[in-house]
Amino acid sequence: MGERAPDGSSKTGKSAKKAVGAEGAASPGKKAAKKVTKRAETPAETPAETPAEKPAEPPAEEPAEKKPAPAAKKSAPGKKTASAKKTAPAKKTATAKKAAPSKTAAKKTAPAKKTAVAKKTSVAKKVKPADVVLPADAVVKKAAPVKKIVVRPPGGESPTALVRSARRINRELAEVYPYAHPELDFENPFQLLVATVLSAQTTDLRVNQTTPTLFARYPTPEDLAAADPDEVEQILRPCGFFRAKTRSVIGLSKSLVENFGGEVPGRLEDLVTLPGVGRKTAFVVLGNAYGRPGITVDTHFQRLVRRWKWTDETDPDKIEAAVGALFPKSEWTDLSHHVIWHGRRICHARKPACGACPIAPLCPAYGEGETDPEKAKKLLKYEKGGFPGQRLNPPRAYLDAGGKPAPPLGAA
């Protein structure tokens, strides 16, 4: 009999147990390995699928770790398998747990993006009719007034019909006034510029009677720029508003000397920088001194184009744009002369001579004035009524057509 170990087993028994254990350990190890693989697979699969629904259930894994404990006591290989059991599932479950929250986070964030996009689209749908459409309309009204005038003529006719009727009226006026010309006396661009500034709030006849004395004393911009304002005021007194006009003509003369070398510029943007010079005055100078087309919107022009239903605008700049859209640019200067001459001679502000008007069949405002031919003839002015015109030195064509020059200032 061999020696017994403290636990009561003999050495021979112990060695026998080792031998038997060496053979028997293989089968329990295999069984344990199978169990480990099965258990290792199930925790790896279940946490990946279930944590989204039940994120934290650690008690479910504890029985799987406690069951292999007896196998660990029986054999050393069992301890290795136990450690494998503990480490492998732990790593896998840890990774699974880490991966699972990322999926859940992805699931949470993805709907957030969708809802954010949905919110943006819904907000855009709500905001669009209120904040997008209305400003666009407001921009159209400010940016393209001429287009609106062309699309919706005041007379209710189509744009094409309006263009045709307007151009026909201009052709008729060109036959009535083939010698139409600017009714201010001038010999150079500087004289025309000063005379046009002086013609504000007075007649061209009064200006033509006043400027000969002014230009005789101050023939150049340098002379007028250095003039005594009191002397200039005395000369310009018959034109009305003589103090303001004195400041304007002296100021523009100084500007011509300082900024343009004493010469009248031939560009619109330069002319309007001069004191007392606006678009109307600039277009008179450009059209009649430099041959560059422009529309002169004075009081006669404004009155007649509204009577003829060419436009219902009241602002001179808008009238210029609206009427300019109806005619070729090359006709703008002559058109201005035709309309202004007709307004001064026949189509008056208070009593139009409708009965003596050569364009009465074309006029949409016919009947506003005197329609009786005999009474209407008595309302005619200037050469149509046998009276002298407004120029002291009119063109030869005007005189050949029966026109008479105006008398000088102070003549009986």
Q: Residue 211: is its pLDDT beyond 80?
A: yes
Name the pLDDT band for 230 (thresholds 50, 70, 90). Answer: very high
The pLDDT value given to residue 136: 39
pLDDT > 60? residue 13: no
What are the φ/ψ torsions at residue 4 (nearest 5 degrees)?
A: -100, 145
Cβ–Cβ under 8 Å, residues 344 and 181: no
pLDDT attached to residue 1: 46
* pLDDT band per the 50, 70, 90 thresholds, residue 409: confident
pLDDT at 152: 56
Q: Average the pLDDT over 79-88 and give the result.
A: 41
Q: How far apart are CA 271 and CA 265, in angstroms?
A: 6
- 335-342 mean pLDDT: 97
Task: Give the residue-averaged pLDDT of 265-273.
Answer: 95
- Residue 26 CA to residue 38 CA, distance in Å, equals 18
Locus of tokens 């061209």: 204
- Which has the minimum average pLDDT: 71-85, 224-238, 331-345, 370-384? 71-85
pLDDT, residue 122, reads 42
Confidence at residue 410, expressed as pLDDT on a 0 to 100 scale: 72
Least confident of 135-149, 225-239, 253-267, 313-327: 135-149
Please identify which of the residues 298, 375, 381, 404 carries the catalytic annotation.
298
Q: Of 75-89, 155-169, 205-219, which gets the smallest average pLDDT?
A: 75-89
Q: Any catalytic annotation for residue 280?
A: yes
Q: Say which of 85, 245, 280, 309 is annotated catalytic.
A: 280
- For 145-199, the pLDDT digits (tens) are 444 444 356 767 799 999 999 999 999 999 999 999 999 999 999 999 999 999 9
| Mean pLDDT confidence for 24-50 | 43
* Residue 298 appears among annotated catalytic residues: yes
Print the SS3 string covering 87-104. HHHHHHHHHHHHHHHHHH
Q: Is the pTM higher than 0.85?
A: no
pLDDT digits (tens, 9 = 90+) for 369-393: 999 999 999 999 999 999 999 999 9
pLDDT of residue 61: 45
Q: What is the pLDDT averaged over residues 191-219?
A: 95
Query: Could you tell me what percent of the chain has a pLDDT over 90?
Result: 59
Q: Is the pLDDT of residue 204 over 70?
A: yes
Least confident of 115-119, 290-294, 378-382: 115-119
Q: Which residue has the higher pLDDT, 313 or 89?
A: 313
Asked whether the predicted pLDDT for residue 394 surpasses 80, the reply is: yes
| Average pLDDT, integer, range 339-352 | 96
More confident residue, 138 or 310: 310
Q: What is the pLDDT of residue 156?
A: 73
At residue 155, the pLDDT reads 65
